[in-house]
Protein backbone atom coordinates (compact mmCIF):
# COMPACT_ATOMS: atom_id res chain seq x y z
CA UNK A 1 0.00 0.00 0.00
CA UNK A 2 1.36 3.43 -0.92
CA UNK A 3 1.90 5.76 2.00
CA UNK A 4 -1.23 7.84 1.59
CA UNK A 5 -2.28 9.81 4.69
CA UNK A 6 -3.46 7.83 7.69
CA UNK A 7 -5.65 8.97 10.59
CA UNK A 8 -5.47 7.77 14.18
CA UNK A 9 -8.94 8.43 15.61
CA UNK A 10 -9.71 8.58 19.33
CA UNK A 11 -12.27 10.21 21.63
CA UNK A 12 -9.58 12.55 22.99
CA UNK A 13 -6.05 12.49 24.35
CA UNK A 14 -7.24 12.65 27.94
CA UNK A 15 -5.43 10.74 30.67
CA UNK A 16 -5.89 7.02 30.02
CA UNK A 17 -4.26 3.84 28.77
CA UNK A 18 -5.56 3.89 25.20
CA UNK A 19 -4.71 7.58 24.97
CA UNK A 20 -1.15 6.89 26.07
CA UNK A 21 -0.82 4.18 23.41
CA UNK A 22 -1.96 6.63 20.72
CA UNK A 23 0.48 9.29 21.96
CA UNK A 24 3.36 6.79 21.68
CA UNK A 25 2.25 5.67 18.22
CA UNK A 26 2.00 9.26 17.01
CA UNK A 27 5.40 10.18 18.40
CA UNK A 28 7.28 7.26 16.89
CA UNK A 29 5.44 7.22 13.56
CA UNK A 30 6.15 10.93 13.12
CA UNK A 31 9.83 10.30 13.87
CA UNK A 32 9.74 7.77 11.03
CA UNK A 33 8.21 10.50 8.82
CA UNK A 34 5.03 8.52 8.31
CA UNK A 35 2.07 10.52 6.93
CA UNK A 36 -0.06 10.19 10.07
CA UNK A 37 -2.44 12.66 11.67
CA UNK A 38 -4.68 12.73 14.72
CA UNK A 39 -8.44 13.20 14.81
CA UNK A 40 -10.27 13.56 18.14
CA UNK A 41 -13.99 13.53 18.78
CA UNK A 42 -13.56 16.06 21.59
CA UNK A 43 -11.05 18.47 23.15
CA UNK A 44 -9.51 17.07 26.33
CA UNK A 45 -5.77 16.79 25.75
CA UNK A 46 -3.48 15.50 28.48
CA UNK A 47 -0.58 13.97 26.58
CA UNK A 48 1.99 16.06 24.76
CA UNK A 49 1.70 15.85 20.99
CA UNK A 50 4.62 15.68 18.53
CA UNK A 51 5.60 18.91 16.83
CA UNK A 52 4.14 19.51 13.35
CA UNK A 53 1.39 16.96 13.95
CA UNK A 54 -1.89 17.72 12.20
CA UNK A 55 -4.75 17.54 14.72
CA UNK A 56 -8.45 17.83 13.92
CA UNK A 57 -11.17 18.10 16.56
CA UNK A 58 -14.64 17.05 15.41
CA UNK A 59 -16.38 19.05 18.15
CA UNK A 60 -15.94 21.36 21.12
CA UNK A 61 -17.03 18.61 23.50
CA UNK A 62 -14.83 18.10 26.58
CA UNK A 63 -15.78 14.51 27.42
CA UNK A 64 -18.00 15.62 30.31
CA UNK A 65 -21.18 15.51 28.24
CA UNK A 66 -24.03 13.15 29.11
CA UNK A 67 -23.85 9.65 27.66
CA UNK A 68 -26.98 10.08 25.57
CA UNK A 69 -25.53 13.21 23.97
CA UNK A 70 -22.29 11.43 23.08
CA UNK A 71 -24.28 8.65 21.43
CA UNK A 72 -26.61 11.06 19.64
CA UNK A 73 -23.67 12.83 18.03
CA UNK A 74 -22.09 9.68 16.57
CA UNK A 75 -23.61 10.24 13.09
CA UNK A 76 -22.53 13.89 13.16
CA UNK A 77 -18.94 12.92 13.98
CA UNK A 78 -19.06 10.19 11.33
CA UNK A 79 -20.20 12.60 8.63
CA UNK A 80 -17.42 15.05 9.57
CA UNK A 81 -14.90 12.21 9.41
CA UNK A 82 -16.27 11.17 6.02
CA UNK A 83 -15.72 14.69 4.71
CA UNK A 84 -12.13 14.73 6.03
CA UNK A 85 -11.36 11.33 4.51
CA UNK A 86 -12.77 12.38 1.15
CA UNK A 87 -11.05 15.77 1.03
CA UNK A 88 -7.62 14.49 2.07
CA UNK A 89 -7.81 11.07 0.38
CA UNK A 90 -7.14 9.28 3.67
CA UNK A 91 -6.21 5.64 3.09
CA UNK A 92 -6.70 4.20 6.60
CA UNK A 93 -8.54 5.33 9.70
CA UNK A 94 -7.42 3.41 12.75
CA UNK A 95 -9.73 4.02 15.71
CA UNK A 96 -8.91 3.54 19.39
CA UNK A 97 -11.68 3.33 22.06
CA UNK A 98 -15.24 2.19 21.38
CA UNK A 99 -16.95 5.49 20.47
CA UNK A 100 -14.20 6.35 18.03
CA UNK A 101 -14.64 2.93 16.43
CA UNK A 102 -18.38 3.48 16.09
CA UNK A 103 -17.63 6.75 14.28
CA UNK A 104 -15.07 4.96 12.10
CA UNK A 105 -17.57 2.28 11.10
CA UNK A 106 -20.37 4.75 10.45
CA UNK A 107 -18.11 6.91 8.27
CA UNK A 108 -17.32 3.85 6.18
CA UNK A 109 -21.03 3.07 5.86
CA UNK A 110 -21.56 6.68 4.80
CA UNK A 111 -19.22 6.01 1.86
CA UNK A 112 -15.96 7.57 3.06
CA UNK A 113 -13.99 4.97 1.10
CA UNK A 114 -11.19 4.35 3.61
CA UNK A 115 -9.95 1.12 5.16
CA UNK A 116 -11.33 0.95 8.70
CA UNK A 117 -9.15 -0.56 11.41
CA UNK A 118 -10.65 -0.78 14.90
CA UNK A 119 -8.53 -1.28 18.00
CA UNK A 120 -10.58 -3.09 20.63
CA UNK A 121 -9.50 -1.71 24.01
CA UNK A 122 -11.56 -3.69 26.52
CA UNK A 123 -13.46 -6.82 27.38
CA UNK A 124 -16.57 -6.47 25.23
CA UNK A 125 -18.66 -8.93 27.27
CA UNK A 126 -18.60 -6.52 30.23
CA UNK A 127 -21.26 -4.48 28.47
CA UNK A 128 -23.68 -7.32 29.26
CA UNK A 129 -23.57 -6.12 32.88
CA UNK A 130 -24.09 -2.40 32.27
CA UNK A 131 -27.82 -1.87 31.82
CA UNK A 132 -29.35 0.05 28.93
CA UNK A 133 -26.11 1.81 28.03
CA UNK A 134 -24.35 -1.54 27.85
CA UNK A 135 -27.08 -2.90 25.59
CA UNK A 136 -26.69 0.05 23.24
CA UNK A 137 -22.92 -0.44 23.09
CA UNK A 138 -23.33 -4.16 22.37
CA UNK A 139 -25.79 -3.33 19.61
CA UNK A 140 -23.32 -0.88 18.06
CA UNK A 141 -20.45 -3.35 18.36
CA UNK A 142 -22.46 -6.16 16.71
CA UNK A 143 -23.50 -3.78 13.93
CA UNK A 144 -20.25 -1.92 13.28
CA UNK A 145 -17.40 -4.34 14.07
CA UNK A 146 -18.27 -6.43 10.96
CA UNK A 147 -17.76 -3.26 8.88
CA UNK A 148 -14.07 -3.15 9.86
CA UNK A 149 -11.33 -4.28 7.51
CA UNK A 150 -9.20 -5.28 10.50
CA UNK A 151 -9.71 -5.67 14.24
CA UNK A 152 -6.69 -5.17 16.49
CA UNK A 153 -6.96 -6.64 19.97
CA UNK A 154 -4.64 -5.78 22.84
CA UNK A 155 -4.50 -9.27 24.32
CA UNK A 156 -5.28 -12.89 23.52
CA UNK A 157 -7.77 -12.90 26.39
CA UNK A 158 -9.60 -10.01 24.77
CA UNK A 159 -9.68 -11.88 21.46
CA UNK A 160 -11.12 -14.98 23.14
CA UNK A 161 -13.76 -12.86 24.88
CA UNK A 162 -14.87 -11.32 21.58
CA UNK A 163 -14.98 -14.74 19.92
CA UNK A 164 -17.41 -15.99 22.58
CA UNK A 165 -19.65 -12.95 22.13
CA UNK A 166 -19.50 -12.86 18.31
CA UNK A 167 -18.59 -16.40 17.15
CA UNK A 168 -19.59 -15.67 13.54
CA UNK A 169 -17.47 -12.54 13.15
CA UNK A 170 -15.44 -12.92 9.95
CA UNK A 171 -13.27 -9.79 10.13
CA UNK A 172 -9.49 -10.44 10.11
CA UNK A 173 -8.06 -10.06 13.62
CA UNK A 174 -4.58 -9.60 15.04
CA UNK A 175 -3.27 -9.30 18.59
CA UNK A 176 -0.85 -6.44 19.20
CA UNK A 177 0.12 -5.64 22.77
CA UNK A 178 0.44 -2.08 23.95
CA UNK A 179 3.75 -0.27 23.28
CA UNK A 180 5.98 1.23 25.96
CA UNK A 181 8.83 3.66 25.57
CA UNK A 182 11.20 1.75 27.84
CA UNK A 183 14.02 4.30 27.82
CA UNK A 184 11.62 7.14 28.61
CA UNK A 185 9.96 5.21 31.44
CA UNK A 186 13.36 4.50 33.00
CA UNK A 187 14.28 8.17 32.65
CA UNK A 188 11.03 9.44 34.17
CA UNK A 189 11.30 6.93 37.00
CA UNK A 190 14.43 8.77 38.18
CA UNK A 191 12.56 12.03 38.74
CA UNK A 192 11.37 13.02 42.21
CA UNK A 193 7.64 12.58 42.88
CA UNK A 194 5.49 15.66 43.48
CA UNK A 195 3.65 15.96 46.79
CA UNK A 196 4.95 12.76 48.35
CA UNK A 197 8.29 11.50 49.59
CA UNK A 198 9.10 7.87 50.26
CA UNK A 199 9.97 7.15 53.89
CA UNK A 200 12.38 4.34 54.65
CA UNK A 201 10.26 3.22 57.59
CA UNK A 202 7.22 2.66 55.38
CA UNK A 203 6.32 -0.30 53.18
CA UNK A 204 4.63 1.47 50.29
CA UNK A 205 1.96 0.04 48.04
CA UNK A 206 1.10 2.04 44.93
CA UNK A 207 -1.83 1.88 42.54
CA UNK A 208 -2.21 3.93 39.36
CA UNK A 209 -5.37 4.65 37.42
CA UNK A 210 -8.73 6.35 37.42
CA UNK A 211 -10.64 6.24 40.70
CA UNK A 212 -13.64 4.34 39.33
CA UNK A 213 -15.60 1.27 40.53
CA UNK A 214 -13.93 -1.01 37.96
CA UNK A 215 -10.58 -0.63 39.73
CA UNK A 216 -12.02 -1.84 43.07
CA UNK A 217 -9.65 0.25 45.14
CA UNK A 218 -11.96 -0.18 48.13
CA UNK A 219 -10.63 -3.75 48.29
CA UNK A 220 -7.07 -2.45 48.49
CA UNK A 221 -8.03 -0.06 51.30
CA UNK A 222 -9.82 -2.90 53.13
CA UNK A 223 -6.64 -4.99 52.90
CA UNK A 224 -4.54 -2.06 54.10
CA UNK A 225 -6.66 -1.84 57.26
CA UNK A 226 -5.58 -5.39 58.18
CA UNK A 227 -1.91 -4.88 57.41
CA UNK A 228 0.73 -3.52 59.81
CA UNK A 229 0.84 0.21 60.56
CA UNK A 230 4.01 0.75 58.51
CA UNK A 231 2.18 -0.18 55.29
CA UNK A 232 0.89 2.82 53.32
CA UNK A 233 -1.00 3.13 50.05
CA UNK A 234 -0.28 5.79 47.41
CA UNK A 235 -3.08 6.31 44.89
CA UNK A 236 -1.98 8.00 41.67
CA UNK A 237 -4.98 9.17 39.69
CA UNK A 238 -8.27 10.97 39.96
CA UNK A 239 -11.89 10.16 39.27
CA UNK A 240 -15.49 10.13 40.45
CA UNK A 241 -14.83 7.76 43.36
CA UNK A 242 -12.28 9.97 45.10
CA UNK A 243 -14.65 11.21 47.82
CA UNK A 244 -16.08 7.72 48.32
CA UNK A 245 -12.63 6.17 48.68
CA UNK A 246 -11.61 8.83 51.19
CA UNK A 247 -14.73 7.89 53.12
CA UNK A 248 -13.80 4.20 52.97
CA UNK A 249 -10.31 5.01 54.27
CA UNK A 250 -11.78 7.01 57.15
CA UNK A 251 -14.29 4.27 57.99
CA UNK A 252 -11.46 1.70 58.00
CA UNK A 253 -9.33 3.92 60.22
CA UNK A 254 -6.51 4.26 57.68
CA UNK A 255 -7.13 7.76 56.33
CA UNK A 256 -3.59 8.83 57.27
CA UNK A 257 -2.11 5.81 55.51
CA UNK A 258 -3.85 6.40 52.17
CA UNK A 259 -2.17 9.17 50.17
CA UNK A 260 -4.13 10.63 47.27
CA UNK A 261 -1.64 12.39 44.98
CA UNK A 262 -4.08 12.98 42.12
CA UNK A 263 -3.48 12.67 38.41
CA UNK A 264 0.20 12.95 37.59
CA UNK A 265 1.92 13.45 34.25
CA UNK A 266 4.76 11.30 35.55
CA UNK A 267 3.32 8.37 37.53
CA UNK A 268 6.56 6.41 37.13
CA UNK A 269 8.36 8.47 39.76
CA UNK A 270 5.84 7.19 42.34
CA UNK A 271 5.75 3.60 41.11
CA UNK A 272 9.53 3.25 41.02
CA UNK A 273 9.80 4.21 44.71
CA UNK A 274 7.12 1.83 45.94
CA UNK A 275 7.79 -1.55 47.50
CA UNK A 276 4.96 -3.21 45.58
CA UNK A 277 2.43 -2.33 42.90
CA UNK A 278 -1.18 -3.42 43.40
CA UNK A 279 -3.98 -3.73 40.85
CA UNK A 280 -7.29 -5.25 41.96
CA UNK A 281 -9.48 -4.46 38.91
CA UNK A 282 -12.45 -6.66 38.17
CA UNK A 283 -11.64 -6.41 34.47
CA UNK A 284 -8.90 -5.07 32.20
CA UNK A 285 -8.09 -5.11 28.51
CA UNK A 286 -4.31 -4.98 28.49
CA UNK A 287 -3.39 -3.07 31.65
CA UNK A 288 -0.74 -0.49 30.80
CA UNK A 289 -0.03 0.31 34.42
CA UNK A 290 0.89 -3.31 35.19
CA UNK A 291 3.40 -3.56 32.33
CA UNK A 292 4.80 -0.14 33.26
CA UNK A 293 5.20 -1.18 36.90
CA UNK A 294 7.24 -4.18 35.74
CA UNK A 295 9.46 -1.84 33.73
CA UNK A 296 9.93 0.29 36.85
CA UNK A 297 11.35 -2.77 38.61
CA UNK A 298 8.59 -3.04 41.21
CA UNK A 299 7.10 -6.36 42.42
CA UNK A 300 3.50 -6.63 41.22
CA UNK A 301 0.33 -8.05 42.72
CA UNK A 302 -2.65 -8.20 40.39
CA UNK A 303 -6.17 -9.56 40.40
CA UNK A 304 -6.49 -12.48 37.99
CA UNK A 305 -9.23 -10.75 36.03
CA UNK A 306 -10.09 -11.21 32.38
CA UNK A 307 -8.02 -10.17 30.54
CA UNK A 308 -4.40 -9.06 30.76
CA UNK A 309 -2.82 -9.76 34.16
CA UNK A 310 -2.32 -13.50 33.65
CA UNK A 311 -1.08 -12.90 30.12
CA UNK A 312 1.51 -10.44 31.48
CA UNK A 313 2.57 -12.09 34.75
CA UNK A 314 2.11 -15.77 33.88
CA UNK A 315 2.42 -16.02 30.07
CA UNK A 316 3.34 -19.72 30.14
CA UNK A 317 0.29 -20.71 32.21
CA UNK A 318 -3.11 -21.85 30.96
CA UNK A 319 -4.69 -18.57 29.82
CA UNK A 320 -8.18 -19.98 30.45
CA UNK A 321 -7.36 -20.43 34.13
CA UNK A 322 -8.83 -17.89 36.52
CA UNK A 323 -8.35 -17.88 40.28
CA UNK A 324 -11.43 -17.94 42.50
CA UNK A 325 -11.88 -16.41 45.94
CA UNK A 326 -10.26 -18.75 48.43
CA UNK A 327 -7.61 -20.08 46.05
CA UNK A 328 -4.93 -18.00 47.76
CA UNK A 329 -1.91 -16.48 46.00
CA UNK A 330 -0.46 -17.78 42.75
CA UNK A 331 3.21 -16.84 42.75
CA UNK A 332 3.60 -16.60 38.99
CA UNK A 333 6.91 -16.18 37.18
CA UNK A 334 6.72 -12.40 36.92
CA UNK A 335 4.46 -11.47 39.84
CA UNK A 336 1.66 -12.50 42.20
CA UNK A 337 -1.90 -13.22 41.10
CA UNK A 338 -4.94 -13.27 43.39
CA UNK A 339 -8.62 -13.75 42.65
CA UNK A 340 -10.84 -10.77 41.95
CA UNK A 341 -12.36 -9.57 45.27
CA UNK A 342 -10.05 -11.80 47.34
CA UNK A 343 -8.96 -9.33 50.01
CA UNK A 344 -7.55 -12.12 52.18
CA UNK A 345 -5.24 -13.31 49.37
CA UNK A 346 -4.11 -9.73 48.78
CA UNK A 347 -3.19 -9.43 52.46
CA UNK A 348 -1.25 -12.71 52.24
CA UNK A 349 0.64 -11.55 49.14
CA UNK A 350 1.62 -8.20 50.65
CA UNK A 351 2.64 -9.82 53.94
CA UNK A 352 4.92 -12.32 52.21
CA UNK A 353 6.56 -9.67 50.06
CA UNK A 354 7.15 -7.57 53.18
CA UNK A 355 8.95 -10.47 54.80
CA UNK A 356 10.85 -11.74 51.76
CA UNK A 357 13.33 -9.16 50.48
CA UNK A 358 15.00 -11.76 48.25
CA UNK A 359 11.70 -12.52 46.54
CA UNK A 360 11.02 -8.80 46.04
CA UNK A 361 14.43 -8.34 44.45
CA UNK A 362 13.91 -11.35 42.18
CA UNK A 363 10.54 -10.05 41.00
CA UNK A 364 12.05 -6.62 40.39
CA UNK A 365 14.69 -8.09 38.06
CA UNK A 366 12.29 -10.47 36.31
CA UNK A 367 9.77 -7.67 35.85
CA UNK A 368 12.24 -5.50 33.98
CA UNK A 369 13.00 -8.45 31.71
CA UNK A 370 9.32 -9.14 31.03
CA UNK A 371 8.66 -5.46 30.38
CA UNK A 372 11.17 -5.47 27.53
CA UNK A 373 8.79 -7.75 25.61
CA UNK A 374 6.56 -4.72 25.13
CA UNK A 375 9.25 -2.34 23.92
CA UNK A 376 7.61 0.30 21.77
CA UNK A 377 9.95 -0.17 18.81
CA UNK A 378 8.69 -3.70 18.11
CA UNK A 379 5.07 -2.88 18.89
CA UNK A 380 5.01 0.29 16.76
CA UNK A 381 6.58 -1.71 13.92
CA UNK A 382 3.67 -4.15 14.20
CA UNK A 383 1.19 -1.28 13.99
CA UNK A 384 3.02 0.22 11.01
CA UNK A 385 2.87 -3.15 9.26
CA UNK A 386 -0.91 -3.47 9.56
CA UNK A 387 -1.39 0.15 8.45
CA UNK A 388 1.00 0.29 5.51
CA UNK A 389 1.80 -3.36 4.88
CA UNK A 390 0.01 -6.68 4.55
CA UNK A 391 -2.89 -6.62 7.06
CA UNK A 392 -3.59 -10.28 6.88
| Contact indicator for 352, 359 with CB cutoff of 8 Å | yes
pTM listed for this prediction:
0.79
CB hemisphere CA count around 368 (13 angstroms): 13
Compute the distance between CA of residue 107 and CA of residue 121 in angstroms, rounded to an integer: 20
More confident residue, 115 or 129: 115
Check for a shared fold between 6-179+375-388 and 182-374.
Answer: yes
More confident residue, 131 or 383: 383
Q: What is the pLDDT of residues 156-196, one digit of tens each?
A: 888 988 999 999 999 999 999 989 889 999 999 999 999 89
Q: What is 6-179+375-388's CATH number, 3.40.50.2000, 3.40.50.740, 3.30.470.20, 3.40.50.2020?
A: 3.40.50.2000
Percent of the chain with pLDDT over 70: 99
Query: Residue length, the chain?
Result: 392
Query: What's the whole-number mean pLDDT along residues 291-300?
Result: 96
Q: What is the pLDDT of residues 352-384, one digit of tens each?
A: 999 999 999 999 999 999 999 999 898 999 999
Average pLDDT over the chain, rounded to whole?
A: 93
Q: What is 182-374's CATH number, 3.40.50.1580, 3.40.250.10, 1.10.3720.10, 3.40.50.2000?
A: 3.40.50.2000
Query: What's the whole-number mean pLDDT along residues 194-214?
Result: 95
Q: Is the pLDDT of residue 330 over 90?
A: yes
List the one residue out of 249, 181, 239 whose CA is nearest residue 215. 239
> Burial code of 283-292, b = ≥16 C-beta within 10 A, e = fewer?
bbbbbbbbbb
List the one residue out of 116, 78, 83, 96 whose CA is nearest residue 38. 96
Would you list the domain boundaries of the chain?
6-179+375-388, 182-374
Q: Please report the pLDDT score of residue 391 as a whole number.
A: 41
| Contact indicator for 276, 301 with CB cutoff of 8 Å | yes
Compute the distance between CA of residue 371 and CA of residue 257 in angstroms, rounded to an integer: 30
Residue 191 burial class via C-beta count within 10 angstroms: exposed 0-12, middle 13-18, buried 19 and up: exposed
Amino acid sequence: MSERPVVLLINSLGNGGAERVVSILLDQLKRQHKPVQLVCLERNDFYTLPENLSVTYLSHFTGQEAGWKKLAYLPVFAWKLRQLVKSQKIAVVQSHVYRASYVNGLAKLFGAGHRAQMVNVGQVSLYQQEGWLGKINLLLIRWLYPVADLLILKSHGMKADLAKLMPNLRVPQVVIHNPYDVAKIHQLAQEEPVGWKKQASKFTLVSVGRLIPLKQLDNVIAALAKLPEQVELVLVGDGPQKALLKGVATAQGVEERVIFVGRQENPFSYVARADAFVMMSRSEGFPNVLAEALLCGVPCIAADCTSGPREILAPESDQDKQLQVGDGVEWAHYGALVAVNDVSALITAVTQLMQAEQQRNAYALLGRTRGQDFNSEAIVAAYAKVIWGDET
